[in-house]
């Protein structure tokens, strides 16, 4: 089974790049399931119901969010009504939406998607490790356990926290992939227990920027340390960044994992399978 995860979509440049490249991606990689982090899709801050629907129409199966979940107020009621959009699992009880879902894939298979948000240099949410343990205790990976694939999106700032969660989940999920940093890391690997891992998938957006935002306003904030123009997404040609995992049909664990980078300023990389 092949599952593709695409990193944080930043503004229109990211949205356009994803939608334009999806037919080619589906044709060349033949993924059985596609997940996308969309928390910066609405002009860099949050997402709207319409943007979610546009992603679904383009062939995205599930959209995950993150620390910008609430930036567009209209998304709040949508989270309760649309199970294909996930916010971090470790928000407090009673928060709108859900942090985990089970979804149908081809040939009657089931994919579980979970998102947790880290706490280092982030909002002080509930413990992501404990929240993850509670969910993994309910299911078992593999053909005999009911879940053909389990994908964990770790939305976090610190690479150490992402890696720790990867090792905690090793052998129990198919893929642990980081989001939020907006920079693709060069550490795609299969951990000792059989779980595929990459610290950050990278963003889908314009890389002639400061993590997807226009350079001038971002630099001004660092250099002057006084309020300036509001950050807004860079508008050049977008790059699509993601991670593709191929799982064993019996165990649900990873057989192969590789990065995907298409278009824009980064060197193009297709999984060579």
Percent of the chain with pLDDT over 70: 100
Burial of 20 (0-12, 13-18, 19+ CB in 10 A): middle
Per-residue pLDDT tens digits for 229-253 = 889 999 999 999 999 999 999 999 9
Residue 235 structural domain: 2-262
pTM: 0.96
Specify the DSSP class assigned to residue 250: T
Position 267 in a domain? no
Per-residue pLDDT tens digits for 86-134 = 999 999 999 999 999 999 998 889 999 999 999 999 999 999 999 999 9
**Are 14 and 256 a contacting pair, CB within 8 Å?**
no
Position 269 in a domain? no
Question: What CATH number is given to the structural domain containing 59?
Answer: 3.60.21.10
Total domains in the chain come to 1
B/e letters for 36-63, b = 16+ CB within 10 Å, e = fewer, are bbbbbbbbbbbbbbebbebbbebbbbbb
Q: Which two tokens stand for residue 70?
A: 């609430």
Mean pLDDT of 163-190: 98
Percent of the chain with pLDDT over 90: 92
Q: What is the pLDDT of residue 152?
A: 98
Position 226 in a domain? yes
Position 273 in a domain? no
How far is Cα 248 from Cα 186, in angstroms, rounded to an integer?
Answer: 23
Examine the residue annotation and report whether 167 is marked as an active-site residue of this protein.
Answer: no
Position 272 in a domain? no
Q: Categorize the per-residue pLDDT at 228 as very low, low, confident or very high, splitting at 50, 70 and 90.
A: confident
Q: What is the pLDDT of residue 40?
A: 97
Position 85 in a domain? yes
Position 118 in a domain? yes
Position 271 in a domain? no
Catalytic residue among 43, 68, 180, 220: 68
């Amino acid at each position: 089974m092949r599952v593709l995860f695409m990193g944080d979509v930043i503004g229109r440049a990211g949205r356009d790049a994803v939608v334009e490249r999806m037919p080619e991606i589906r044709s060349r990689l033949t993924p059985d399931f596609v997940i996308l982090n969309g928390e910066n899709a609405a002009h860099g801050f949050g997402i709207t119901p319409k943007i979610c629907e546009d992603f679904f129409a383009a062939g995205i199966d599930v959209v995950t969010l993150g620390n910008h979940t609430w930036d567009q107020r209209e998304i709040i009621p949508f989270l309760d009504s649309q199970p294909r959009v996930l916010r971090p699992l470790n928000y407090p009880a009673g928060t709108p939406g859900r942090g985990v879902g089970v979804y149908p894939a081809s040939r009657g298979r089931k994919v579980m998607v979970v998102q947790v948000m880290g706490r280092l240099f982030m909002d002080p949410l509930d413990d992501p490790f404990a929240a993850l343990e509670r969910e993994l205790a309910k299911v078992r990976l593999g053909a005999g356990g009911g879940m053909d694939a389990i994908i964990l999106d770790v939305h976090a700032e610190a690479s150490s926290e992402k890696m720790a969660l990867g090792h905690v989940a090793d052998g129990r999920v198919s893929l642990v992939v980081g989001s939020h940093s907006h920079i693709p890391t060069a550490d795609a690997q299969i951990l000792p227990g059989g779980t595929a891992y990459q610290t950050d998938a990278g963003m889908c957006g314009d890389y002639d920027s400061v993590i997807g935002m226009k350079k001038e306003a971002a630099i001004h904030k660092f250099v002057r340390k006084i309020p300036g123009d509001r950050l807004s997404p860079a508008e050049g040609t977008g790059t699509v960044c993601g991670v593709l995992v191929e799982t064993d049909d019996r165990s649900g664990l990873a057989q192969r994992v590789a990065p995907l980078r298409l278009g824009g300023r980064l060197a193009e990389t297709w999984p060579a399978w």
